[in-house]
């Protein structure tokens, strides 16, 4: 696994990790990632973060225990939760004398030539300034995406937008298994595969948690998208201690998916 020398890295964290399985934002976990990202920046890497959690945080602030079905309730929860999400990230990165920036995107932004170019220019400028962009889907304005989209896909599109070398998708699973380890005791962890291999999509079937929209399938599909522009992907557990810094010194953690032209 050659993850030692990527210059530009996109890190995606899911709702279950950011919100401690729905119990409000996990300040300690976010602080831990901020510390690791500070170490990566000090080592000469450029880091962008794609973070879920706005809807889950909004639900917690509103006292909702079940994710609503009504689109405008979801959008309201996202608007409320985004305030908390940004506050926590800003305070955590500030401890390491780092600035962070909020970027809210939709698939429509990236599909539009002019907005795509503007988003790319803004992200490139932030990276040159040593700022960590915190990217999330703009759930307050999207409709179909809030029901069917996911931040795994957004992370892959961002990776392609800024031509990242590595996409790290942190989840509550150890990586991609031959079957769902929650239901199959004999499931084995896949340590390395080629992104876009159709057998991976069959392997990755399975539902997500109550809080998240994605499952392992969306992560495999994200690796396929990122691989088309030459980025490698690692799917690993966000609960693994120092997972980012360990990955970036070449330790084998989770599942490494290399692009077809770089196996």
Residue 243 lies in a domain: yes
Measured CA to CA, the distance from residue 109 to residue 124 in angstroms comes to: 16
Residue 209's pLDDT is what? 42
Residue 193 lies in a domain: yes
Measured CA to CA, the distance from residue 166 to residue 3 in angstroms comes to: 8
Residue 185's pLDDT is what? 82
Closest CA to 176 of 223, 211, 212: 223
Residue 145's pLDDT is what? 55
Residue 1 lies in a domain: no
Residue 140's pLDDT is what? 82
Residue 207's pLDDT is what? 44
CB neighbour list of residue 42: distance below 8 Å, 6 or more residues apart: none
Task: Find the CATH number of the domain harbouring 247.
Answer: 3.40.1160.10
Helix, strand, coil % (nearest 5) of the chain? Answer: 45, 15, 40
* Count: domains in the chain: 1
Residue 3 lies in a domain: no
Block means of pLDDT (10 residues each) for the chain, length 263 residues? Answer: 74 88 84 96 96 90 91 92 94 97 90 95 97 92 62 94 97 87 83 92 62 71 95 96 95 95 63
Residue 34 lies in a domain: yes
DSSP for 108-174, written as a single string: HHHHSHHHHHHHHHHHHHHHHTT-EEEEEE-TTT-SHHHHH--HHHHHHHHHHHTT-SEEEEEESSS
CB neighbour list of residue 128: distance below 8 Å, 6 or more residues apart: none
Domain ranges, residue 251: 8-262
Residue 142's pLDDT is what? 74
Residue 262's pLDDT is what? 64
């Amino acid at each position: 696994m050659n993850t030692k020398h990527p210059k530009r890295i996109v890190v995606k964290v899911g709702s279950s990790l950011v919100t401690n399985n729905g119990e409000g934002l996990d300040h300690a976990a976010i602080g831990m990632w901020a510390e690791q990202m500070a170490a990566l920046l000090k080592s000469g890497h450029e880091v962008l973060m794609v973070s879920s959690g706005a809807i889950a945080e909004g639900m917690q602030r509103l006292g909702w225990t079940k994710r609503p079905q009504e689109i405008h309730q979801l959008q309201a929860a996202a608007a409320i939760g985004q305030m908390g999400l940004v506050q926590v990230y800003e305070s955590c990165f500030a401890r390491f004398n780092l600035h962070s920036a909020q970027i809210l995107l939709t698939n429509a932004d990236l599909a539009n030539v002019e907005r795509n170019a503007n988003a790319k220019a803004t992200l490139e400028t932030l990276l040159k300034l040593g700022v960590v962009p915190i990217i999330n889907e703009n759930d307050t304005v999207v409709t179909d995406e809030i029901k069917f989209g996911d931040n795994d896909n957004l992370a892959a599109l961002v990776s392609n937008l800024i031509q990242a070398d590595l996409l790290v998708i942190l989840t509550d699973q150890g990586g991609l298994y031959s079957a769902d380890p929650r239901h199959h005791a004999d499931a084995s962890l896949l340590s390395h595969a080629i992104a876009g291999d159709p057998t991976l999509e069959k392997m990755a079937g399975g539902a997500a948690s109550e809080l998240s929209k994605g499952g392992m399938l969306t992560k495999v599909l994200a690796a396929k998208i990122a691989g088309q522009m030459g980025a490698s992907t690692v799917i690993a557990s966000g609960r693994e201690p120092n997972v980012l810094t360990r990955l970036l010194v070449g330790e084998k953690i989770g599942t490494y998916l290399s692009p077809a032209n770089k196996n």
